[in-house]
Every structure is written in C-alpha cells, then in structure tokens.
Amino acid sequence: MAFISILLNIIAYICIDALKLFLSVPHEVWGDMRCYLLYIFMGIIAIFLYNFFSAYLRSIGNSVIPLIFLAISSILNIILDLYFVLVLKMGVGGAALATVLSQYVSGIGIMFYTLLKYKEVLVIFKVSYLKRERIKQIISFSLLTCIQQSVMNLGILMVQGLVNSFGTVVMAAFAAAVKIDAFAYMPVQDFGNAFSTFIAQNYGAKERERIQKGVKEAVRISSIFCIIISILVYIFAKPLMMIFIDAKETSIILEGVRYLRIEGAFYIGIGCLFLLYGLYRALGRPGMSVVLTVFSLGTRVALAYILSSIPALGVIGIWWSVPIGWALADIVGLVYYKKNKHNLLSFGGVL
C-alpha cells in the first residue's frame, strides 16, 4: 500500500497538467484548480496512513479510535480553512493546505497510537515478513475492489468532464450539489458496509435463514431511509445549495436545485445498489460487484453523453442519467440474485 501510494503521488504530479484537457476545465478556473491540486496531492500519503491503521484497528474491533482521529481531522480542517482563507488570504491554495495538514495530523496520529498501543504492528518494518503467498492473498482480496473503485471514479471523472463543457455555472452547481449528494447518501453507503459484514458472518456460520431475513430487513430499512432523505433534499434543495453558494449566484443555485430535485429524488436506487455491492462481496462474489459498478457507471456515462446532446434536454440529460444508471444496475443485480439464490446460499465455497 505504501509503494502504491508513493507511485500514485508521482503519477499525479506528472499528469497534473493533462487533467485540464481530460476534464475539459474552463481556462478561467484552471489556475485555481491547478493550485488546489498541487497541494491536495501531497495528502495521498496521509490518506494511506489513516486508512491502513484505521483498517487494522477496526479489524480487531476498535472502531472508536479511528472515529476520534477522523473527528479531530475534520475539526482541525475547519479551523485551518478559516485561518488560511479569511486571515492569511491564501484562497483555494489555503483551503487545500488546510485539508492536507489535517489529513497528516490524523494519519500520523493514528499511526503512532497503533504502533505504541499494539506492539505486534511493528512487524510491518520487518522485510522478512513479506511472503509471496500473503502478498498474493491480499492482492486476490483487494484487486476486484480496486478495479471497482477505479472504474467508479473514472466514470465520475468522465461525467465531470462533460459537465465542465457546459461552462462555469453548471460546473459550480454540479460541484456544490455533489457535496450535498455525498452527505445525503453516506449513511446508506455505511449501512451497505454493515450489511455486508452481517451477511458475511452468517454466510460463514451457514445461517441461510438469517441471511434471507437480513436481506429483506436491510432492503426495508434502507428504502425507508432513502425515501425520507429524498423528500428532505427535494424540499430543502435551495437552502442546501445556499450553504455552498452565495445567495447572489442565482443561476448556479437554480441549476443545483434542478440537479438535486432530479437525482436526489431517487436515492432509493443508490441505496439498493450499495446493498447489492455488500451482498455479493459477503457471498464471495466480488466480481458481481464490479459488474454492477461497470453497468451502473457505463450506462450513466453513455446516457449522459447521448441525452445531453439532445438540444431539448442539454445538461438535464446528464442529471437524468444518474438515476437511470442506478435503476438499471439494480435490476441486473436483483435478477441475478433471484435466479442464482440457491447457488449463492449453498455454502459450497467461493467461485
């Protein structure tokens, strides 16, 4: 992980100027964006440190300490944002620097805590513990997940590039609305992870009935939550946009509201998709999670380019492509589960 993080850091700086072309970034915002990225890429190593040691702590049942360090990082980020931007007048560079410094506080802090509290972690410094079999096992566990996340982010970048081509107003509206999006369905994503753990435990214990009951309850709870969040986002779309956008920027707020009232009305689609991801990972079919990701984002990207090219739709076509992509992926995942339920719950081993 350390090697990959360093490699990604190098690649990020080498390719930084190519992002302008790839993302169709308007010239008037590229200067600030490049400044932001120059700082933010410094935090890749910090993200590795936090994720590595927090994953270790969670795996041994300690989920409190990672949360504490995350909270410290978030609070520090806000304080440094205000200081660098309002007091030192550093602009977007100051905002990025605040993020990076807070990331390193949490990353280095949790590293020292873990190394001091759990002496067995010190074996990470012993090269002799690098065994080919262990490396192959870790790669086999993580490769499909890495592919899934890479495909997901590549698809998001392609949509971002299309959004950027519509100008700075649409670009700003999308950037703000996506933040609201991420916050709105973050609980559902975490619920999907918890659901995955529940299914995996019962799969290991060969509790077929508990798995089936858990699936029904998870769908019911997730659906109710998503419907409530969708209603709230639909009603309060404008006030939510005004958290990030100045009230004078009426055109940006209007476009952001339109995005939220189209895409945000269908959070039940992404809620179901997170459950399907968790289900197939837990049942030893991570490849199916990748298929659903590729299907969801592939459909979304294709529809975004096709629908936005229709003059009567324009940028609205991009907004509609999101829930349509979720819905189609959900249908694929549910049909596969219905047709293969017996084999999936046969406890005959991972294919």
- The closest alpha carbon to 262, from 314, 306, 221, belongs to 314
One domain for residues 119 and 138 = no
Structural domains counted in the chain: 2
**246: number of Cβ within 10 Å:** 9
One domain for residues 194 and 331 = yes
One domain for residues 21 and 151 = no
Last residue of a domain, one of 67, 94, 128: 128
Distance CA 42, CA 287 (A): 32
Last residue of a domain, one of 106, 128, 150: 128
Report pTM. Answer: 0.73
Q: What is the pLDDT of residue 108?
A: 97
Local mean pLDDT, 10-residue blocks, the chain (351 residues): 89 91 85 93 95 88 90 94 93 94 96 91 76 80 75 81 90 91 85 87 86 91 94 94 91 94 92 92 83 86 93 93 93 92 70 38
Counting Cα atoms < 13 Å in the Cβ hemisphere of 272 gives: 23
One domain for residues 178 and 114 = no
- The closest alpha carbon to 208, from 199, 197, 219, belongs to 199
- The closest alpha carbon to 190, from 274, 273, 64, belongs to 274
Domain of residue 163, residue span: 131-351
- The closest alpha carbon to 266, from 233, 302, 239, belongs to 233
Q: How far apart are the first and last CA of the chain?
A: 26
Q: What is the pLDDT of residue 72?
A: 95
Distance CA 185, CA 277 (A): 15
DSSP state of 85: I
Distance CA 245, CA 50 (A): 31
- What is the SS3 assignment for 319? helix
Last residue of a domain, one of 97, 128, 159: 128
Question: Residues near 66 by Cβ (< 8 Å), separated by ≥ 6?
Answer: 50, 53, 54, 57, 58, 110
One domain for residues 9 and 151 = no
Distance CA 106, CA 28 (A): 34
One domain for residues 180 and 293 = yes
One domain for residues 220 and 319 = yes
Determine whether 30 is exposed, middle or buried from the number of CB atoms within 10 Å of its CB (0-12, 13-18, 19+).
middle
One domain for residues 115 and 135 = no
Q: What is the pLDDT of residue 346?
A: 76
One domain for residues 155 and 241 = yes
One domain for residues 35 and 147 = no
Output phi, psi for 91, to 5 deg: 65, -145
One domain for residues 27 and 148 = no
